[in-house]
Amino acid sequence: MEKRAQKTIKKVFSIEGIGLHTGQKSKLTFKPSPANSGIIFIRADIPGAEPIKPEIDNLLDITKFPRRTSIGNEHFKIHTIEHLLSALYSMEIDNVFIEIEGDECPGLDGSSRPFVELLKKAGIKNLSSERDIFAVKEPIYVSDNSAHIVALPSDELKISYILDYPNTFLKSQYASYTMNPEIYEKEIAPARTFCLREEVEALKSLGLGKGSNYKNTLVIDNDKGVIENEFRFKDEPVRHKISDLIGDLALFGNYISAHIIGIKSGHSINTKLVRKLKELYNRERVSGIVTPSPSFDAYGVLYTEEISKIIPHRYPFLFVDRIVELTENKAIGIKDVTINEWFFQGHFPGRPVMPGVIVVEAMAQVGGVLMLSKEENRGKMAYFMSIDNVKFRKAVRPGCQLILQVELVKMKSRVARIQGKAFVDGKIVAEAMFMSTIIDS
């Protein structure tokens, strides 16, 4: 599979408008961001609000917020992000900060085209890091009554969709595209959101569509066709379904190589597929991590007494219980987190959470084992010079088994660059990039 550089935008820009469902005015400000930072939303209108990523773990219940894709937490919500995410994903923007003022992304003309035009105007630039692409290796199928969605192995991202509205003006439509920025911009981005005329009152009764009108939403009458508007494409509705599907796939958090086939699928079933893909992705990332190295003893581990001979840390500041894999360029350690840990006494005692800095320190200690276990470094010291791109994704609580994986990215003289990742139940909870140096003790 072809390797590709991560990308961001070249300059800051803003856009504002009315939300399709809330009818409220909102403003988005886009800012360039460094490699490996991802897409980050920041509620600029809520002082002290923490950043949030448009990823599947932050998805709000679609049964409570239907006909759109929304993310949020206990403090705020951001609605109708699918058109924006579809544009970012398809234009291959990996990293950008988005400050939002308001509860919903602007609806604009009901399509992704305005976002594409602004992204291109701002300029798109390559970054030094490579993009992470997840290749689907086996068929994955999700079904819900008459709606279905399938992910099949493919060397590229291809989207096919079957729309079926029997006994209506729309009837059945089919479209299929191999995605790249050029095809998306020309064939998919201009396609606008739509609904049947008979759905309008039901949607309004649910409090939806307050910002919708005949200009930004194609309202389809069974006899007359589009009301007070006209199609940009004869099959514009099915193309918009593809746009929405891409926006939902963006919740995966990385790029996907697969042939995705949607059959009457909507946000609910689309996101169920994303959850399945994410579970598979996480399993693959940690698969084999408890496989013993043939260089170990019969149990395939180093326990604390052996670890203490390699790194200088001691209780209560030794956060690695055992090492389960140790090779030239990789080490995997385990920390069994119990309620008896000393730091739980004062860190959110009512709802114990392992401090993020200690998770990072635990990764660093496994990194120390990796460096100092080498014969030429025995008896020396490893000092960490810097920590970059630290990300905390999930809380670590008592009862968790923390799996700590570090890999040597680059070694020059006595200076090493190490990638660290921490997992619980196969899901990544934290990661960081470390720079360390070896010195004589």
Q: Which residues are catalytic?
A: 267, 347
Instruction: Say if strands 259-263 and 158-165 run parallel, antiparallel, or are unpaired.
Output: parallel
Q: Which two tokens stand for residue 341?
A: 């840990």
Partnered with residue 158 across adjacent β-strands are: 178, 259
Rounded Cα gap, residues 391 and 430, in angstroms: 5
| Residues 6 or more apart in contact with residue 426 via CB below 8 angstroms | 279, 282, 283, 286
Give me 185's structure tokens. 């911009």
Nearest to 237 by CA among 294, 175, 295, 182: 175
- With contact defined as beta carbons under 8 Å apart, do 399 and 384 qualify? no
Name the token pair of 91.
């234009």
Long-range contacts of 64-71 (CB under 8 A, 24+ apart): 66/206, 66/208, 66/267, 67/21, 67/203, 67/208, 67/267, 68/20, 68/21, 68/267, 69/244, 69/247, 69/248, 69/251, 69/267, 69/271, 71/41
Reading phi first (left if > 0) and then psi (alpha if -120 to 50, else beta), residue 46 is in beta
DSSP 223: T
Handedness of CA 40, 29, 46, 389 (dihedral sign): positive
Q: Which residues contact 369 (CB under 8 A, 6 or more apart)?
A: 302, 307, 310, 311, 320, 323, 326, 331, 333
φ, ψ for residue 259 (rounded to 5)? -100, 110
DSSP structural state of residue 92: T
Report the Cα 95 to chain-centroid distance in Å: 11
Beta-bridge partner residues of 381: 439
Beta pairing partners, 125: 8
Q: Show the CA angle centred on residue 284, arms to residues 278 and 289, nearest 5°.
A: 130
